[in-house]
Amino acid sequence: MRLRPRVDSNQKDIAAALMKMGATVFSLAAIGGGCPDLLVGWRGVTYLVEVKGEKGKFTPAQGDFYTRWRGGYILCLRTVSDAIEFLRKH
C-alpha cells in the first residue's frame, strides 16, 4: 500500500457531489496497483470509479486492473457534472 496516494484535484469535489445526491462514497486511492479511486454505492449497486482530470489518461496499471476485473461496473468521472449526470441516469 502506498503511503501518500496521488489524488486528482477534482476528486474531493466529485465525491462531495455524489454524497450530496445520496450516494455512499469510500476512497480507495491509497490502495494503488491500478485500483480505481472511489467505491460508490447507489440504489443498491456498487460502482468502482476512476477520477481523472479533463485530459487525464489511464496508466498501464489501471488498464491491467480493468482488463482483469470480473466484478461490477467501473467508470471514469472527470467533472462534478459527469458525476451528477451519471447518478441521474442510474
pLDDT tens per residue, range 27-39: 999 999 999 999 9
* Chain segment 4-61, per-residue pLDDT in tens: 667 889 999 999 999 999 999 999 999 999 999 999 999 999 999 999 999 999 999 9
Of 40, 71, 78, nearest to 57 by C-alpha is 78
Question: What is residue 6's predicted lDDT score, i.e. its pLDDT?
Answer: 75
Whether the predicted pLDDT of 69 surpasses 70: yes
- Distance separating alpha carbons of residues 32 and 75, to the nearest angstrom: 17
Residue type at position 13: D
Residue 4 half-sphere exposure toward CB, CA atoms < 13 A = 0
